[in-house]
Structures are given as structure tokens and as C-alpha cells.
Amino acid sequence: MLTTRRIVYPVQTEALPLQTETIGLNAEQEWISRPKGYPLFHWLQTIEGEGELLVGDTSYKLPERAGILLPPSVPHSYYAKSSAWKTYYVTFSGTLAPTLVSELLGALPGKIQWDAEDDAIREQLESMLALAESGADAAGWKSSAELYRFLTLLKTNGRRNHLPSLSRRLERLQELLDWLETEYADPGLGLAEMAG
């Protein structure tokens, strides 16, 4: 059974490239309305059930294995679409946060989904939450590194617009490269075999 957990990081004495403000698990996600948005980047991810997030006139359904990254100060609201909606969330800033988010994930808000057999994104959030709960990162550098890893997993393992994830596309490309490596020298190889 999932229980609600929430960690608020202390204000850091030095600016970090990525700084976690809060991280948590909400076992019963309540209705939230933020007419002025949240002041930092805000990731919201469904663990169980389904929710819906509204940004202006756009609605985002958030089923299991889906999340959304909101930029700072964008008005939004979200609520459960199922009887129980369990979520992970992380809020963050940092000296490089706007640049890294833009380079890795493009335009925001951005809904990201991933395949059932690929739980690296959820596992990374669990790891980040465990690190925060341990209190073993007073300076915040470990959480900064883990947050960067999380953002790269969103890029490589997540998918947008119903396209396969980058890691899946690279796997498919690697199969082609492996085949070319073994078959390229074959003089009988023709366009039909290459197309196949």
C-alpha cells in the first residue's frame, strides 16, 4: 500500500545547476488549482489511476506511466479522473534548469509517456525520494545529479506524440546497423534485401 510522502529540501547556500525544492508521493492526489501557476518547474506523474491536467484551453489526460512537466508560473489545475489517483511529483529550479529542460525536452508543458516494460522513470523518482528521505545529501549535489539523470530518462525513455521513445528508436536502428555490418560485403546483396 502506498502512503503519502513529502520532502521539502532546505534552501541551499550555493546555487546548483539543478535544485530540488520538493519531492513526494501522493497516495490520494487532491484537486489542485493554481491560477498563477507554480513558481518553479513542476513534474507530475501518475502511479495508479488517472488524472486530468488543464492548462488554459488544453486538457492533458494522465493515465499510468504518464507525466507532465510544467514550466514556472503557468496557470493550471488538475484533478482525479478515477476513484483513486496516486502521483509522484518533483519541483525544481537551478542555474541551468531552463537551459537543460529546453535542450532535453523542448517546448513545455510537455506530456510524456513510457512503455509498461520500461519503468526506469518511476524507479529514478523512487530513488530520488529515498535519497531525500535519507538526509544524506545536505549540500544538494547528489540530488542535483539525480535530477539531471531523471531529465535525461524523460528524454531517452519517454515518448511524446505517440512516437516510439528515443531508446526504442535507437534499438531498432542498432538492429539495422548490426545487419549491415554482417551483410554489407555480400556482393549478391540488392536493394530488395536492404529494404527488407
Task: Express each pLDDT in 92-119 by its tens digit.
Answer: 999 999 999 999 999 999 899 998 888 8
* Chain mean pLDDT for the chain: 88
Torsion, CA 27, CA 29, CA 54, CA 153, rounded to 10: -20
Rounded to 5 degrees, what are φ and ψ at 90? -150, 135
pTM of the model: 0.81
Q: What is the pLDDT of residue 57?
A: 93
Q: Given pLDDT bands bounded at 50, 70 and 90, which one contains residue 195?
A: low
Who contacts 175 (Cβ-Cβ below 8 Å, separation ≥6)? Answer: none
109: cis peptide before it, omega within 30°?
yes
Rounded to an integer, the average pLDDT of 17-37 is: 96
Q: What is the pLDDT of residue 95?
A: 96
Rounded to an integer, the average pLDDT of 28-52 is: 97
Q: What is the pLDDT of residue 182?
A: 74
| Out of 54-58, 107-111, 149-153, least confident range | 107-111
Q: Given pLDDT bands bounded at 50, 70 and 90, which one contains residue 184?
A: low
Q: Given pLDDT bands bounded at 50, 70 and 90, which one contains residue 40?
A: very high
**What would the grid cell of residue 21 be?**
525544492
